[in-house]
Amino acid sequence: MRTATFRSAAMGLPDATEVETWGEATFRVRNKMFATLGSDGKRASIKGTRDEQQALIAENPDVYFVPSYVGVHGWIGVVVSKADRGEVEELLTEAWRMTATKRAVAAFDAEHR
């Protein structure tokens, strides 16, 4: 996956914004982060659950890892260049769903049935 593709997938979600924080791109909905992209574009972190994080790392440790600081909360580290586009898009959508309002999620679900 390319860095531009990651950014496009994150920004393609409803009400998503990109804000530079700590020298990195952070992707937010209603000012709450659901993903980050390292300043060099090589690594990203996506909001997730501990179970999902551990399953992905066990399945593909060359692509997924426990990121610093937020990893203890279930965030999933991703080596962007090695990641599968479809899988990352799905992870970003789920992270967005965990962060967005119930109303936004319901509207998204109605539109994507």
SS3 annotation, 21-64: ECCEEEEEECCEEEEEECCCCCEEEECCCHHHHHHHHHHCCCCE
| CB contact at 8 A, 108 and 84 | no
Q: Is the pLDDT of residue 112 over 90?
A: no
Q: From CA 23, how far away is CA 41, in angstroms rounded? A: 11
CA-nearest of 50, 22, 53 to 38 is 22
Q: Count how many domains the chain has.
A: 1
Give the residue numbers spanning the domain of 99: 3-107
Mean pLDDT of 88-100: 97
For 102-111, the pLDDT digits (tens) are 999 999 999 8
For 53-76, the pLDDT digits (tens) are 999 999 999 999 999 999 999 999
Predicted TM-score of the model (pTM): 0.94
**Domain CATH code at residue 69:** 3.90.1150.30
Predicted pLDDT at 22: 86
Q: Is residue 29 in a domain? A: yes
Q: Is residue 112 in a domain? A: no
Q: Is residue 113 in a domain? A: no
Predicted pLDDT at 113: 78
Q: Is residue 54 in a domain? A: yes
Mean pLDDT of 42-56: 97
Q: Is residue 102 in a domain? A: yes
Mean residue pLDDT of the chain comes to: 95
Q: Is residue 62 in a domain? A: yes
